[in-house]
Structure 1
Amino acid sequence: MGDLSLKKYFMAFVLGTSLITLAACGGGGNEGKETSGDGEFAMVENAEAEELFNQSCIGCHGGNMEGGSGPSLQKVGSKYSEEEIKNIILNGKGSMPVVINDENEAATLAGWLAEHK
């Protein structure tokens, strides 16, 4: 088993145990909570966005969003609005292919990326 496979299994384990912990500590009751504000619900949204980034973007944009075969995304929110980022995610841009087709996932990821300024 290669290092990459071990990293994938480790990340799956960490994500799985985190979700179990979140489920055990409570859930639901998100009515009236803002997804972009501080607090538990925002942290879950960020975790979802980070997981989407790790699944779809990390290969080209790097583990720290420093760039690689794709550009750095560390300050992408300074360059593009949330809507522009969502559009790029859904439609690709230049040599970047479409990697997420789901509108909700794209919106979650775009919101998180737009915060990076």
Structure 2
Amino acid sequence: MEWKKSLLALLLGSSVALAACGGGEEENAANDAPASDEGTEETAASAGEEVYQQNCLSCHGGNLEGSFGPALDKIGSELSEEGILSVIENGQGQMPPNIVEGEDAQAVAAWLAEKK
């Protein structure tokens, strides 16, 4: 019976860790795709939202309402785009650094900065 509890704890812990990491296989495949010459703000915003859905949703909620992590629905009124990017790059509280990196991190920061 004790081994069942240990197994359950291991599976639960692993699933939480994997959800926080957000995978990465799909993200790498998306980064390998050729970039379009037509870059619009709408495209950048949808890219930020897509990256959020893949990597941040499990802790911050589907509607930015917060869950394990804090709510982000009004984060743009509290932090600038640069401030949000700094949190993504450096981590804060229980959030580890660099859950998303590079252009993906910039896209998420820009998208979240619009949430006021």
TMscore range, shorter length: 0.5 to 0.7
Question: Within 2, Cα distance between the matches of 1:106 and 1:112?
Answer: 10
TM-score (structure 1 length as normaliser): 0.64
Question: 1:29: Cα distance to partner?
Answer: 4.3
Deviations along 1:59-103, one digit per CA (max 9) or x if unpaired, are: 000000000011100000011111010010111101111211x22
Q: Which amino acid aligns with 1:77?
A: G
In structure 1, distance between residues paired with 2:42 and 2:82: 21
Q: For residues 18-53 of structure 1, what are the alpha-carbon distances to aligned partners after superposition, in whole Å with 9 as ceiling and x for unaligned?
A: xxxxxxxxx5345xxxxxxxxxx1111111101110
Q: Which ranges of 4 or more aligned residues in structure 1 deviate by more than 6 Å?
A: none
Q: Secondary structure, in 3 states, of the residue corresponding to 1:47?
A: helix
- Structure with greater contact order relative to length (CA < 8 Å, sep ≥ 6): 2
Aligned residue in 2 for 1:67: 66
Which amino acid in the other structure matches residue 72 of structure 2?
Answer: L
Listed as ranges, the gaps of 5+ residues in structure 1 are 1-11, 13-26, 31-40
Superposed displacement of residue 113, structure 1: 0.3
The answer to whether the 8 Å contact 1:90/1:103 transfers is no
Say how many residue pairs are matched: 81
Alignment correspondent of 1:82:
81
Amino acid in the other structure paired with 1:44:
T
Partner of 1:17: none
For residues 61 and 49 of structure 1, what CA distance do their matches in structure 2 show?
14
Percent identity between the two aligned chains: 42
1:28 aligns with 2:37: yes
Distance, in Å, in 1 between the alignment partners of 2:37 and 2:85 is 26
- Name the CA distance, whole Å, in 1 between partners of 2:73 and 2:95: 17
- 3-state SS, counterpart of residue 111 of structure 1: helix
Residue 44 (str. 1) matches residue 53 (str. 2):
no
Q: Which residue of 1 aligns with 2:94?
A: 95
